Amino acid sequence: MLDFAAARRMMVDGQVRTSDVTDLRIVAAMLELPRERFVPPACADLAYLDLDVAVRRDAGAPARHLLRPMVLAKLVQAAAVKADDHVLDIGCATGYSSALLARLARSVVALEQEAGLAKDAEANLGAVGIGNVTVVVGPLTKGWPPQAPFDVILVNGAIEVVPEELGAQLKDGGRLVAVVGRPPLARAMFYRSVAGDVSGRPIFDAAAPALPGFAAPPAFVF
């Protein structure tokens, strides 16, 4: 059987630390959280590899994944999550990203649109003793207005557009991080809301599985 504790250390040392992730809170959380708990049992041996691990549960639904550890860690670091922040985790899947954010923030809303995945997220978060995450079910593109505004919004996957509804759910000074674009042109982006105006900048090249619902509308061609 794979030594998961050793695999966890190798993931952090070989993928996270070497990618300029210097926030010791993120490093500590990734060393502690059992990522293997958040993937299907048949994929447990893949949990700590440098790849996006498929976790989709509902038959016929779009494929869903946990982000590569390096990409997730760098996005979370860019968001500069503070201890008193209120965070929205869009596309939480089985809850690993929410568990990581919960170690850094005051409260996390974990949004998932597939009921099966949301149920798994609740079970996983409970199993690892996370108590400051609320799992909710709804369309990913709509965010979660009932508990807005948020200090930080993390989008778990590649998107082609950032819906205006998400920017409107940021507090003044709030941050949103996501992988935007299609490979090979996708980039991790950082957005900040200032007096209601949301502007963004690229932070690093990245690839991630697409999240459903975030495709850009087709352009009109004369």
**For 172-205, what is each residue's pLDDT tens digit?**
999 999 999 986 779 999 999 999 999 999 999 9
Instruction: Decide if 44 is inside a domain.
Output: no
Q: Is residue 221 part of a domain?
A: no
Total domains, the chain: 1
Give the pLDDT of residue 222: 45
Q: How confident is the model at residue 216 (pLDDT cuts 50, 70, 90)?
A: confident
Q: What is the domain-level CATH number for residue 130?
A: 3.40.50.150
pLDDT at residue 219 is higher than 70 = no
Structural domain boundaries, residue 143: 52-205
- 35 found inside a domain: no
Q: Which residues of 90-119 are buried (b: 16+ CB within 10 A; e: fewer)?
A: bbbbbbbbbbbbbbbbebbbbbbbbeebbe
Among 15-19, 56-60, 140-144, name the one with the lowest average pLDDT.
Answer: 56-60
* 94 lies in some domain: yes
What is the mean predicted confidence (pLDDT) over 147-166? 96
Question: Nearest CA to 91 among 35, 148, 139, 30?
Answer: 139
Enclosing H/E stretch for 77: helix 69-79
Q: What is the mean pLDDT of residues 13-17?
A: 97
Euclidean distance between CA atoms 214 and 206, whole angstroms: 17
Q: Judge whether 34 lies within some domain.
A: no
pLDDT at 58: 59
**Eight-class DSSP state of 95:** S
pLDDT in tens, 29-59: 999 999 999 999 999 999 999 999 999 755 6
Q: Please tell me the pTM assigned to this model.
A: 0.94
Q: Is residue 220 part of a domain?
A: no
Query: What is the model's pLDDT at position 56?
Result: 75
> Is 36 inside any structural domain?
no
Q: Is residue 62 part of a domain?
A: yes
Cis ω on the peptide bond leading into residue 184 (within 30° of 0)?
Answer: yes
Q: How much is the mean pLDDT over the chain?
A: 94
pLDDT at position 144: 98
